[in-house]
Structure 1
């Protein structure tokens, strides 16, 4: 028998709302917080969130809050479901009104440009030790639209404290939403963040009219880039063959549900970045992450040609077709060279 908890979900976008539904299905008392009072009124009176999850009926045990203090009252676990760029601001608000140390579960996928911090590191930097018990990341191949329809979904949770990861595994897991644990916190965060870069590139490829051959190449070579950088940063390379590596790449690079794929698709069709972001109406994490990954590739001296090409398209006004042509014209190399190098570096560190 699962213990029923009071859980706060901070951020009533598509992903925060979908995860609130999972928690509500498990019988928990769910407090869903957002700045937008009209959205909170809709959640409480209509039990819908039409802007983000059209035509989905929310469980009655999800209650919307516009007061963060009220949302956090008496809870021990908080789900942080806001874009990477908003995390520091929201943590600042939480520090002012929370009553007790919290288990903070972040579910966003990004890296902060310039500081080059993963989200768990941002939380550690912003929150004094006495204000959080543990930090957990939840990540994996998961479209909010499908989770809200209770389609089968599988994700991973990770933490420096695996007991905390197991606590969150129990909090979320049900017959529709399967949760694994993974001790590789760095790998889970890096895989989840960098797959958005490859999804943007896959969308560009589709927008240019290229076929499945090109997309398959982007996914597999993109995975090699993610593994090269992640291993340099201390991740276990095996993580990238799991849910937050190849699993997340497949779902994000091949589905119209993916906002990163959709943004890339528009770029490939000739739209400018500012126009694309304006039309999307939601945060496209891959754009910001591309800037951070470009900086990380320099810092760790890791070759990341797809990331570099995307950086040129997004921030240096490179023509998408010309960038793809340059990728194809790169010097020849052996396919297994990357895997051999990653394996050798891992053995050396051990």
Structure 2
């Protein structure tokens, strides 16, 4: 039986651990001692996934060494912390790593697979797609992409991780899966701004469509396939996160659209990845010569630009063919 390690006990890490526990024992690493204690004693993660009963097959720990011995390890930490966590984890080089963070590293503009390659020589896969943690942990059906350049490894990981309610589709387009997951977080903030500013559903639909065009332009420029971005890890995840307040990034945008202070919106243990990704994405797009006005507008809002002026500047852009 496969033993799974999950590094990161936020909502998504805990949900994955809960699902994988049906396939084999799971060792779940958390930074917070109180989270470890609650999972091991009360079978619940009240800080990140309250109200969800966790199976007995999960053992929580604050010791990364306990995870290193597992057969397959999922890394479910925020994108900007991936480098430091991998550097300290001491995972055997033969152990497959499944990266579950969705973002682009600040400073280097590197995708998560590129960050991992700087630190370790392990086989790498990417897990990405439309997946609210609470629904997955509750056993509701979900379909996601598992991207791996090594087709044989990808098939082995899919077979080990899949559940009747967690359907995995294998892809070899690692770049496409990464970029879809990173860009959709930024676009979800934009859609939240539209909702918070009461601009209507027509505006949200237009933003999703034009945002998807930005995602595709940037992805193709970075070597992704357009069909990957039209799949679960791109368009599928975009539609989900741009349509519900269950998305942390969408909720952040709603608050910005309502004029609430950014510091207040970012307070709390949960991380809205798009807040860190937006300025990095805007820099990377400019460096690559890719036009991404919506993502640039989100970066401007996060830097303190007025909502009304930023929206007005977007609407005043020159008219052109679609």
TM range (shorter): over 0.9
Offset of residue 100 of structure 1:
5.4
Residue 173 (1) aligns with residue 170 (2): no
Which has more radius of gyration? 1
Offset of residue 99 of structure 1:
4.7
- Report the counterpart of residue 341 of structure 1 in structure 2: none
RMSD, aligned α-carbons: 1.1
Length, aligned pairs only = 322
Q: Distance in 2 between matches of 1:275 and 1:55?
A: 25
Classify the secondary structure of the residue corresponding to 1:309: helix
Residue 48 (1) aligns with residue 44 (2): yes
Residue 290 (1) aligns with residue 258 (2): no
- Report the counterpart of residue 347 of structure 1 in structure 2: none
- Report the counterpart of residue 157 of structure 1 in structure 2: 146
Offset of residue 187 of structure 1:
0.6
Residue 214 (1) aligns with residue 210 (2): no
Offset of residue 170 of structure 1:
1.1
Offset of residue 101 of structure 1:
2.6
Gaps of 5+ in 2: none
- Report the counterpart of residue 343 of structure 1 in structure 2: none
Offset of residue 200 of structure 1:
0.2
Tell me the TM-score normalised to structure 1 length.
0.90
1:320-346 Cα distance to aligned partner (Å, 9 max, x none): 1221121111111111xxxxxxxxxxx
Offset of residue 76 of structure 1:
2.2
Tell me if structure 2 keeps the 8 A contact 1:76–1:100.
no
- Report the counterpart of residue 303 of structure 1 in structure 2: 291
User: Which stretch of the first structure deviates more once superposed, 99-108 or 118-127?
Assistant: 99-108
- Report the counterpart of residue 338 of structure 1 in structure 2: none
1:137-172 Cα distance to aligned partner (Å, 9 max, x none): 000000001101111100000112121211221122
Classify the secondary structure of the residue corresponding to 2:50: coil
Tell me if structure 2 keeps the 8 A contact 1:9–1:31.
yes
Residue 262 (1) aligns with residue 259 (2): no
Q: Distance in 2 between matches of 1:38 and 1:260?
A: 26
Tell me if structure 1 keeps the 8 A contact 2:275–2:302.
yes
Q: Distance in 2 between matches of 1:234 and 1:38?
A: 42
Tell me if structure 2 keeps the 8 A contact 1:9–1:32.
yes
Out of 328, 334, 338, which is 2:315 matched to?
328
Out of 8, 17, 21, which is 1:20 matched to?
17
Q: Distance in 2 between matches of 1:303 and 1:297?
A: 7
Q: Distance in 1 between matches of 2:163 and 2:169?
A: 12
- Report the counterpart of residue 275 of structure 1 in structure 2: 264
Q: Distance in 2 between matches of 1:304 and 1:169?
A: 34
1:118-153 Cα distance to aligned partner (Å, 9 max, x none): 0010000011x3xx2x10000000000110111110
Tell me if structure 1 keeps the 8 A contact 2:11–2:48.
yes
Tell me if structure 1 keeps the 8 A contact 2:79–2:101.
yes
Tell me if structure 1 keeps the 8 A contact 2:149–2:172.
yes
Residue 248 (1) aligns with residue 241 (2): no
Classify the secondary structure of the residue corresponding to 2:101: coil
- Report the counterpart of residue 66 of structure 2 in structure 1: 70
Tell me the TM-score normalised to structure 2 length.
0.97
